[in-house]
Structure 1
Amino acid sequence: MSAHDAVPVSLAEIARIAGVGRAAVSNWRRRHDSFPTRIGGTDVSPQFSLAEVERWLRNNGKLRDIGGRELLWPRFEALGSRNESGLAIAEAARLMRSPEARTVHPDLSPQAKALADRAARVGREEGPRETFEFLLQRWLETHVRQLSTTPPQLAALMARVALTVRLGPDRGRLTLLDPASGTGHLTAAALQEYDGPGLEVLACERDPALAALAAGRLSFLAEKHDVRPRIATADTLRDDPFSGAKADIALCNPPFNERDWGYEELATDQRWTHGLPPRTEPELAWVQHLLAHLEPGGAAVVVLPPAVASRKAGRRIRGSLLRTGTLRAVVSLPPGSAQPHSVALQLWILRAAPESPATAPPSQHVLLVDATRFARPGTREPSPDWGSLGSFVLASMAALDQVGQDPPEGAVRVPLLDLLDDEVDVTPGRYTAVANEPSHEELARKWNKFDSFLTDLADHSRHLSRLAFETGTPQTTTTVGDLVKAGALMLRAGQQPPPSATTGDGGTVPLLTIADLLHDGTPSGVVPTGSAPAVAEEGDVLVAGVARAFKAWVHEGPPMALGPQLYLLRVDAEKLEAHFLAGCLYAPTNGRQAGTHASSSSRIDIRRLQVLQLPLEKQTTYAETFRRLRAFEELLTTADGSGKGLVSDMSDRLAAGGLTV
C-alpha cells in the first residue's frame, strides 16, 4: 500500500466526508460486506484507508453532493507536522491565485508540494477562497491547543471601535498595523468593516506558518478590496520590520505573560516614551510599540489580560498613559471572549494626540466600561452574547468625547484625579459598581413594576387554585411516535447547518440552539434560507430534547431554524390543538420517563413522550389551562429576577447611606 493510500480516517471523518451522521457510517459498515476493512486503530476507534473509503463511497453513490474539500483535509492532517501542513495550505492558496507559479517554500516535503498542487486544482474547481478558508478552519480546529486566535466577533468589534475612536483628516488610503497577526483574523475583520477608498496593511508574525496563512487570507480579501498588504515574518519587538512607519489604526492581540520579550536588549529603545516596561510587564511593551506607530489622532485597540490594569509593577507606565491622555478607555469583556476563555480579558483603547488640539482637547476623564454581564450562561464554556456586547461597547464609545452625553449604564467617566493615586488601577469594575447606585426615581419605578407582577401572579393563582381533578379514573394516553404514524403530526429534527453554507441571494433565517434556550431564548445566529432541515413556522410545537433544557412550547413569530437537539412538531389542526400538545409534552414526569438516563445531559426520546387522548373539543379546554399555567410560570421567573434585582439595588443604596425614616 502506498503512502497516499495509507492516509487513515476515522468513522467520524468518514461521516464528515459523506455529509451524514456517524451512526449512518456504522450502519454501512454492518450492512455492507464490501465496506473497507480496518487498517489501524482499535475496535472502539477503528481507522480506514482514505483511498479505499473514497472508492467505496463513490461506487455506492454516497458522494453525490460532496466536493473535493472534505477529501483533502485528511491528507493534510496525515503530513503530521503542524508547520508543514500550515505551509502547504498557504502554498495551495498561492497556487490557486497564480497557477503558473512554481516557487515553493523550502521547508515543504515532496508529499506536501504534491498535496498543495492537488488542493489548488480543487480550489480552482470549487472556489479558491472557499477552499482555502475551509482548509484553514480545519487546521485551526486541529491545532486549537497550540494556537491563540481572535474570534471573528471580537475582531470585528475591535475594528469598529478603532475606526470610531480615530481622529484626524482622511488622507485617502488608510493604514492598518497588526504587529502580532497570527493567521490574520484582525486584519481580515478590518477589511470587512472599513468601507473607505483603500487600505494599506502592515502585518507581522514571527511564526512562519501563521505568517504564510495570513498572507494567503489577505491575498483573497485583496481581490475584493483596494488593499496593499505587507506581511513580514519577524519578532516585532526585537526586530521591528516597519520601524518608522505610521498607521491610522492598530489592532493587536499580543502573546500574554512572555518573560523573554527582549527586556535586556531593548532597555534603551526609543519606543518606551512612557517608561521602560518591567520584565514582568511585556503587555505594556506591546502597548508602547503600538503607540510608536500611530499617526496623530490614530487609534489602537489591544486585547490584554485584566492584571495589566492593576499590577503594581506597571503603575508608573499606566500613570503616564493617563496623564498624557493616551489611554482613553478600558473595556472589561465577559469570560469566553477570547483565549484563555476562563479569563475576563480587557480591551484597552489608546489614541495618539491629534495634530490640532482643537480636534480633541486633552480630556480629564477616562471611560471605563464593564461589559462582563454580557455573558451567555449554561454552555460548557463561557460565551459572550456578541450582539448585545457589541451594541453596548459601541454605544459607550459614542460617548467617549461627548462630555455632555452620559454613557450607558455599566460605563462611567472617571476623573484622572481619581485614578492617579498610589495604585493607578484602571479596572472598570472598581468604578462602575459605585457609579450605578440607583436613584430614588429608579427604585420607585422598579417597585411599581414588581408590584404589577405580584398582582398578575395573584390573578393566575386564584384561577389555577380553583381547578378540580377526578381521581381514580384511568386516562388513555398515546405517544408522539404513534401520533406521527397516524398522521396527526409531523416530526422534524433540528441540525447544525454545514459550515460551508453561504447566504447567496436567498436571505437568512434566525437559528435557535440549546445554548440560546439556556440563556434567554433569543436566537443568537442566522443561517441561509433553505440550508436548515427544520424551520419552525407560527403555530408549530417546539421541543428541547435534552434534560438540562427540557421544554415544549408553541412557536409564535416569524420562521426560525432549529439547531441540534431541538425538534419541530407540526400538528394536523383537525386532530390536535397545538397548545394542548405542548402542555402535555412539557410535563416534567413526561420528560423524565422519556430520558435516556438520569443525568442532566441525557437526551429525551421525543417519540416516547406521552400525550393524552382526548377529543378535539375537550383539548381546547385543556389548552387554555395550559396557556394560563405557562403564563404563571413566566411571571414567576420574571418576578424572581425583578425581586433579586431590587434586593441588589436596595443593598447598594443602603450601603451608600442617607437613609431617612
Structure 2
Amino acid sequence: MPDLTDGGTLLISMPEIADLADVRRAVVTTWRRRHADFPARVTGPGLDASIPMFHAPDVVRWLAANPRRGNRQIENADLRLYLLRCLGQRLETRTFVAAASALLCLRHLDDDEPLVTMATAAAPTIGVEKDDDLLASLRVRAERVDPDDRLLLSEVTALGLHAGWLAPAVDELVEAAYNTRDAFGRLLGARHRLNVPELYTDSVVPRLAHLMAELSGAREQARETGVVHVADPAAGAGDLLAAVHAVIDEADDVKLSGVEPDRFLARLARRRFTVAGVARRDLDIRASAARRTSSDVVVTCLPFRPAEDRDAVEVLAAVRRIADALRSRQTAVILGPAEALVDPLPVHRPAVRRRDELLTTGLVEAVIHLPGGMVPFRPAYRTALWVLRREEDAPAHGRVLLADISDRELTDDIVETLVLDVATWRRDGFRPDEHLRTLASQAAISQLTMRPGKASVALTAPRPTGEPTRRAARAVVRLHEIDGRIASHREAVRTDDAVPGFGGLVAEREDPRALPTASIARLARTTAPGGPLLRILPGARVAPGDVRPMGNHPVIGAPELTGAARVGGRRIDRMVLADAYPRVALTQPGDIIVTTGPRFGAHLDESGYSIIEFPARGLRLTDAGRAVLTPRVLAALLVAAAPTGRAPGAVRGPRRLEELCIAALPEPIVRRLDALLAGADARRAQLLREVDLLDELRRTTVDGLADGTLTLIAALDESP
C-alpha cells in the first residue's frame, strides 16, 4: 500500500498504480515513457531510489483524465475509495472499516448532511483545535441519531484525532459515488483489499448469493402478502440477507433478522442495512438467538470446517434444526459441504440415517450440486444447496428435485434456468409429467434412501434436456439425417465401405424412463458371486527425459487423452522401462485409459502394451464384467457420463473417476451397440489414416519444391 513521507505526502508505487488501473506493471512503465504529462516520481530523504514513488493525488488525477489507459473504466468513486484505503493505513484494519462505515451511516441518518459542514470548515481555529471541533460536532450528531449505540456511536466516539482526515475523505467518497448507499457498497466491494479476513474468508460469489435469494421465494412472498421476514442464523456481514433484500421490490416491506456473535460484524451488518433503507424496527441482528422468531424465508451458509474436521453428522444435524423450525409455506435455502449433502455416504454410518430421515420428512424440495470456486477464498471447498419447504399439500409429494451443475460455470442463464425449474416445481397446478425442466430431474425419495444390501447413492441425477419423448423423437430424426449425409458422401467419393446405419437401428423406447446407473467405485467393489466387474489401474509417474518419439511402448497420459498430443507420439524403450520402472505394469488389449484432469478424456487401448501416465488411470473389465459389458461400450458410456469441464474458479474437477455413474444397459443392447461402435470406429480409423497420408503427401511435396529437389511435371487437371 502507498506510504506517507515525513512531510505528509501520500505516495504510491508503480505496482500499486498497475493494481489500481488493472494493468500489468510493464504498462505503467510504458505510460511513463510515452506520456509527458505522467506525474513525475517523488524524490527525497528516506526514499529508496530503486523504487520509484509518485504523488498519489497526481496519479489519481492523471488516471481520471485518461480513463482509457487501464483495462477498466475507472470512475472518480473508485479513485476516492483507493485514496481512502491508503489513508486508512494509519488505523488498524478493523478499526478503519468500522470507523469509515460508521461515518457513512452517520451521514445517511443525518439527512445526508456532509460530515465536515460549512460551519466546521470555516471555523477560525487551526490544527488540533479544529480537529477537536470536528470530532465534537460528529459526536453530537451521533448521539442524536443513535442514542442507544446500536449502530455507530461507539465508533464515532473512538475516532479521536483521526476524524480530521477520515471525515473529509468519507465525504469525498460519498460525493463521488453520488449517495451514501453506493459509497457503502463500494467500501464493502473492496473487502478483499481491506485486509479484514472476517469480511471475505466465508463470502460467496455474487451469483450464488443471487441464486439463493431467488430460490428462497422471498420475492413471491412479498408480492402475495406485501411483507416478508428473512432470517440468517449465521449472518456474518449480511451478504445473503443483502442479496434477498436486493431482489425484493422496494415497495414491499421486508424484515431482516440474523445471528452474528462477532460484535464488529453484527454492527457492520446493521449499518449496512440501515444505509440500504431498512427501518430500525425491521432490523434485528444480534449476538445470539435469544428468542425464537417466525421467519418466512431462511437463507444461510453452514459454518466452514476443514476437511479433516468436517463431520457429516453435524452438518445434517444443523440442516435438521433449520428444517424443524419451518412452518407452513416457509422456505429455507442452505449452503453446505457437498460431501454431506450430495455425495454417497459410507454404509452403516449415522450420517446415512440422518440424511435419509431428512429426505423422508418431505421437506427437501431440491438438491443442487454446485460448481467449485463458489467460496473464492476456499476454492477447493465443494458445496451444494438444499432447498427446504414445508408444504402441507405439496404437488410432488414423495419426490425431490435433483440438479448437478458441478461441471458448469454459474452464469446468469444457469441461475435463471435453475430458479425456473424449482419455481414450477412448487407452484400450484404443477404436474410432474407435463412440465419440462432443463437442468433438474425429479427422483423418487424411496430410490435415494438406504436399502438393505445396497450402497448409499449420490443425490445427483443425469441432466435432462427436455421431456423424454421429445428428446427421443429429435434423436431419431437427427440419426436419419446423419445416415443420409454419410450415404451421399460415399456416393460422391465412390466408396463401398460399410458404415453402420444408426438411423435404421435406433427407435424410441415405449417407456422412456431413466435407466438405473452404477458408479465406477461400485462396479470395482461389488460383492457379487462373480467378483468385481472391473479393476482400476494406477498411473505411473514417468520422467520427461525417458520419453522419446521412438520406442517400444506408447506412453498414454493426459496430453493424449485430451487431444493435446497424438496417441503413440510419446514412447519409451523397453530397456529404459525395465531399468527405471520395474514395477510398472503394461496395459492389456481392451483396457480403457481415463483422465479427469485437466479435463475428461478416455481412450480404448485396443493393442495394449502401453504405459498409463499419471494422473491418468486405467479400467480393466474382469471376466464377470465382460459378461455384461464390452470395453468399447464402457468407454462410450464413460464419455456420455463425463462432466463437460471444470468451472472457472474451481481447483478440482467436479467429480472423481470413482464417482462417474454409467447407465446399466440390458445385455442385448450392449452387444448391438458394440457392433455399431466397432463399425463406426473402423471407418473413422480408416478416414484418419487417409487424412494422415494426405497431410504427409502435401508436406513432402511442398518441402521438396521449396528446397529444389522436386518439381511438378503435370497439373491434376491436365490431360495425360
Same fold (TM over 0.5): yes
Question: Structure 1 pair 256/57, CA: closer, same or farther in 2 (3 Å)?
Answer: closer
Distance 1:78 1:24 in 2: 27
Write the letter of the residue equivalent to 1:53: A
Equivalent position of 1:35 in the other structure: 41
Equivalent position of 2:331 in the other structure: 299
| Deviation at residue 162 of structure 1 after TM alignment | 1.1
**2:190 maps to 1:135:** no
Secondary structure, counterpart of 1:655 in structure 2 = coil
CA contact (8 A) 1:151 1:337 kept: yes
Distance 1:313 1:134 in 2: 45
**2:258 maps to 1:203:** yes
Secondary structure, counterpart of 1:257 in structure 2 = coil
- 1:195-594 alignment, distance < 5 Å: 195=249, 197-222=252-277, 229-234=282-287, 239-241=288-290, 243-257=291-305, 281-309=313-341, 310-311=344-345, 312-339=349-376, 340-352=378-390, 354=391, 357=392, 359-360=393-394, 363-375=397-409, 384-400=410-426, 402=430, 403-422=432-451, 427-429=458-460, 441=473, 443-448=475-480, 450-451=482-483
Question: Structure 1 pair 649/94, CA: closer, same or farther in 2 (3 Å)?
Answer: closer
CA contact (8 A) 2:39 2:62 kept: no
Residue 205 of structure 2: which of 151, 166, 179 is its match? 151
| Deviation at residue 281 of structure 1 after TM alignment | 3.7
Equivalent position of 2:665 in the other structure: 655
| Deviation at residue 331 of structure 1 after TM alignment | 0.7
| Deviation at residue 34 of structure 1 after TM alignment | 4.5
Distance 2:155 2:44 in 1: 35
Write the letter of the residue equivalent to 2:253: G
| Deviation at residue 398 of structure 1 after TM alignment | 1.6
| Deviation at residue 215 of structure 1 after TM alignment | 2.4
CA contact (8 A) 1:256 1:283 kept: no
Distance 1:332 1:93 in 2: 39
Distance 1:187 1:646 in 2: 41
Question: Structure 1 pair 2/460, CA: closer, same or farther in 2 (3 Å)?
Answer: farther
Secondary structure, counterpart of 2:155 in structure 1 = coil
Question: Structure 1 pair 343/205, CA: closer, same or farther in 2 (3 Å)?
Answer: same
Secondary structure, counterpart of 2:358 in structure 1 = helix
Equivalent position of 2:628 in the other structure: none
Q: Which of these two proteins has the greater Rg computed from alpha carbons?
A: 2
CA contact (8 A) 1:40 1:47 kept: no
Distance 1:646 1:317 in 2: 32
Question: Structure 1 pair 298/362, CA: closer, same or farther in 2 (3 Å)?
Answer: same
CA contact (8 A) 1:177 1:201 kept: yes
Secondary structure, counterpart of 2:373 in structure 1 = coil
Equivalent position of 1:614 in the other structure: none
CA contact (8 A) 1:35 1:56 kept: no
Secondary structure, counterpart of 1:329 in structure 2 = strand
CA contact (8 A) 2:421 2:438 kept: no
CA contact (8 A) 1:370 1:432 kept: yes
Residue 172 of structure 2: which of 112, 122, 128 is its match? 122
Write the letter of the residue equivalent to 1:35: R
Question: Structure 1 pair 169/421, CA: closer, same or farther in 2 (3 Å)?
Answer: farther
Identity of counterpart residues, as a percentage? 21
Question: Structure 1 pair 253/34, CA: closer, same or farther in 2 (3 Å)?
Answer: same
| Deviation at residue 453 of structure 1 after TM alignment | 7.2
Distance 1:160 1:123 in 2: 32
Distance 1:66 1:217 in 2: 22
CA contact (8 A) 1:38 1:47 kept: no
Equivalent position of 1:267 in the other structure: none
| Deviation at residue 247 of structure 1 after TM alignment | 0.5
| Deviation at residue 654 of structure 1 after TM alignment | 7.3
| Deviation at residue 188 of structure 1 after TM alignment | 1.7
Distance 1:113 1:453 in 2: 78
Question: Structure 1 pair 248/110, CA: closer, same or farther in 2 (3 Å)?
Answer: same
Write the letter of the residue equivalent to 1:90: S
Deviations 1:547-572 (A, max 9, x none): xxxxxxxxxxxxxxxxxxxxxxxxxx
Distance 1:394 1:441 in 2: 25
Secondary structure, counterpart of 2:283 in structure 1 = strand
Secondary structure, counterpart of 2:400 in structure 1 = strand
Write the letter of the residue equivalent to 1:248: D
Residue 14 of structure 2: which of 11, 25, 28 is its match? 11
Distance 2:63 2:242 in 1: 41
Write the letter of the residue equivalent to 1:418: Q
Deviations 1:216-275 (A, max 9, x none): 33223226xx785424342xxxx324x3101001111232227999xxxxxxxxxxxxxx
Question: Structure 1 pair 58/320, CA: closer, same or farther in 2 (3 Å)?
Answer: closer
| Deviation at residue 35 of structure 1 after TM alignment | 2.7
| Deviation at residue 325 of structure 1 after TM alignment | 1.0
Distance 2:666 2:47 in 1: 65
Give the alignment's TM-score, normalised by structure 1: 0.56
CA contact (8 A) 1:374 1:389 kept: no
Distance 1:304 1:60 in 2: 43
Distance 2:171 2:181 in 1: 13
Equivalent position of 1:95 in the other structure: 106
Q: How many residue pairs are counted as aligned between the two chains?
A: 443
Equivalent position of 1:595 in the other structure: none
CA contact (8 A) 1:245 1:293 kept: no
Equivalent position of 1:534 in the other structure: none
Secondary structure, counterpart of 2:328 in structure 1 = strand
Deviations 1:130-186 (A, max 9, x none): 222222211234448652212221111111111079889955421000122232221
Question: Structure 1 pair 180/654, CA: closer, same or farther in 2 (3 Å)?
Answer: closer
Deviations 1:82-108 (A, max 9, x none): 422321232132123135326232895
Question: Structure 1 pair 203/421, CA: closer, same or farther in 2 (3 Å)?
Answer: same
Question: Structure 1 pair 446/425, CA: closer, same or farther in 2 (3 Å)?
Answer: farther
Secondary structure, counterpart of 1:314 in structure 2 = helix
Question: Structure 1 pair 256/29, CA: closer, same or farther in 2 (3 Å)?
Answer: same
Deviations 1:275-306 (A, max 9, x none): xxx96644334323433543321000011111
Equivalent position of 2:214 in the other structure: 160
CA contact (8 A) 2:374 2:383 kept: yes
Question: Structure 1 pair 451/282, CA: closer, same or farther in 2 (3 Å)?
Answer: same
Question: Structure 1 pair 162/180, CA: closer, same or farther in 2 (3 Å)?
Answer: same
CA contact (8 A) 2:448 2:459 kept: no
Question: Structure 1 pair 200/411, CA: closer, same or farther in 2 (3 Å)?
Answer: same
